[in-house]
Amino acid sequence: MFENFQVPQNLIPSDPRFGVGPSLIPIEAVEALAKSGTKLLGTSHRQMPVRNLVKELQDDIRAYFKLPEDYEVVLGNGGATFFFDMIGLGLVEKSSLHFVCGEFSDKWYRSHKNIPWINAQEMRVDFGEGINPVELDGHDVICCTLNETSTGVQLSQIPKLRNPDTLMVVDATSGAGQIKVDFKNIDVYYFSPQKVFAADGGLYIAIMSPKAVERALRIEKDNSRFIPVSMKFSHAIENSRCNQTYNTPSIANIFLMNEQVKLMNKMGEDKVIAEAKRKAHLMYSWAEEKSYLSPYIKNPEFRSQAVITIDVDPKYKVDDLTKVLRAQNVVVDIDGYRKLGRNQFRIALFHNVTYENLEKLTKIISLAIERPS
């Protein structure tokens, strides 16, 4: 029913990328990378030009999140999925407790479940619902996902833990930068940068409390379990302290992320978050107003201000519409998470996706569905 739909000129967004990751990387950042010429790309990551870049990124992150002085910014290769395994192998003493509400929190749980010498337990809700982490006795790591990218669930609370020996560990991959947290309640806050931070995949950034660093180093020192060398926290931490990574990183990626953090630091976290909320309001209001749309996340408490998921009346096939929009290169990557298998749009509200373009997107979709056939 959408084959003949042509997006009117006045509704064409200034950038077609609305995807939840890899996300829109500003052309200006790509141009700045090209302008860096012979200074960074093709240089050793052990030399000062690249180490200065890594230091700038670490300092920028520290400034953006207003981190407590004694927290460390650790980075390494592998992304959040790799980090799931690093946590299971190197940070969990005996038992981790997982709050599962979508594909990524489930993947993290299953990563720990595969490790024979730790006990991984889950508290699970149906996909489409949210669940905040709570502290239960007997678990030394609490694992939660700040923004479940597969479903569009955002946590509304991360509590302060009572037991001083328990660590709160947060996968912040698609929420980092756009959802306020209190770092005093968190021991590890990690993410891949291909979401709000507009870089490419393959890198993890982990903000670690002294307690988390101490735990990781102690587990390694005990030497009572095998940890693959590429996954040792000691290597990641020691190299990050010297503004390096354990093995060779993508320098282009570090550069792109640094450009984005600089951009966001110009506004500051509070304003970035206010803008995210404004965009979320626009999108949820539209989804509630149209009879053929409905927000997938029914409870407003858990609705994400970083990734919105919208169910569509089965009469209108989302796949058909997205195909037509992609062919015209006016809107790309707004399909739902494939494993959920719903007739659904999933749209990034990330910092670089502007309010004006989101407004145009709502008009394009409304027009496509409402126009006389």
Ligand X SMILES: Cc1ncc(COP(=O)(O)O)c(C=O)c1O
Q: Which residues bind ligand X (CB under 6 A)?
A: 21, 79-81, 104, 145, 149, 171, 173-174, 192, 201
Provide the minimum distance between the beta carbon of 202 and ligand X in the complex, in angstroms, as a whole number.
7
Residue 249 CB neighbour total at 10 angstroms: 19
Determine the 3-state secondary structure of 57 from DSSP: helix
Determine the 3-state secondary structure of 35 from DSSP: helix
- The dihedral through the CA atoms of 116, 85, 98, 221 has a sign that is positive
Whichever of 276 and 293 has its CB closer to ligand X, that residue is 276
Whichever of 7 and 333 has its CB closer to ligand X, that residue is 333
Q: Do strands 141-145 and 95-100 pair parallel, antiparallel, or not at all (unpaired)?
A: parallel
Provide the minimum distance between the beta carbon of 103 and ligand X in the complex, in angstroms, as a whole number.
8
Whole-number Cα distances in Å, 128 to 102, 125, 196, 240, 311: 8, 8, 22, 37, 11
Provide the minimum distance between the beta carbon of 41 and ligand X in the complex, in angstroms, as a whole number.
22
Provide the minimum distance between the beta carbon of 144 and ligand X in the complex, in angstroms, as a whole number.
11
Provide the minimum distance between the beta carbon of 108 and ligand X in the complex, in angstroms, as a whole number.
7
Provide the minimum distance between the beta carbon of 193 and ligand X in the complex, in angstroms, as a whole number.
8
Q: Give the position of tokens 């508290």.
A: 123
Instruction: Kindly give the interhelix angle for 79-90 and 210-222, rounded to the nearest 10 degrees.
Output: 60
Whichever of 79 and 336 has its CB closer to ligand X, that residue is 79
Whichever of 171 and 259 has its CB closer to ligand X, that residue is 171
- The dihedral through the CA atoms of 284, 306, 178, 357 has a sign that is negative
Structure-block tokens of residue 208: 């670690």
Provide the minimum distance between the beta carbon of 151 and ligand X in the complex, in angstroms, as a whole number.
10
Determine the 3-state secondary structure of 125 from DSSP: coil
Whichever of 148 and 259 has its CB closer to ligand X, that residue is 148
Whichever of 315 and 338 has its CB closer to ligand X, that residue is 338
Whichever of 209 and 253 has its CB closer to ligand X, that residue is 253
For the chain, helix (H) and strand (E) counts, in that order, are 10, 12
Whichever of 104 and 286 has its CB closer to ligand X, that residue is 104
Q: Show the 3-state SS of 234-259.
A: HHHHHHHHCCCCCCCCCHHHHHHHHH
Structure-block tokens of residue 57: 């990124």
Provide the minimum distance between the beta carbon of 221 and ligand X in the complex, in angstroms, as a whole number.
28
In the sheet that holds 95-100, the strands lie side by side as: 72-77, 203-208, 188-191, 167-171, 141-145, 95-100, 119-124
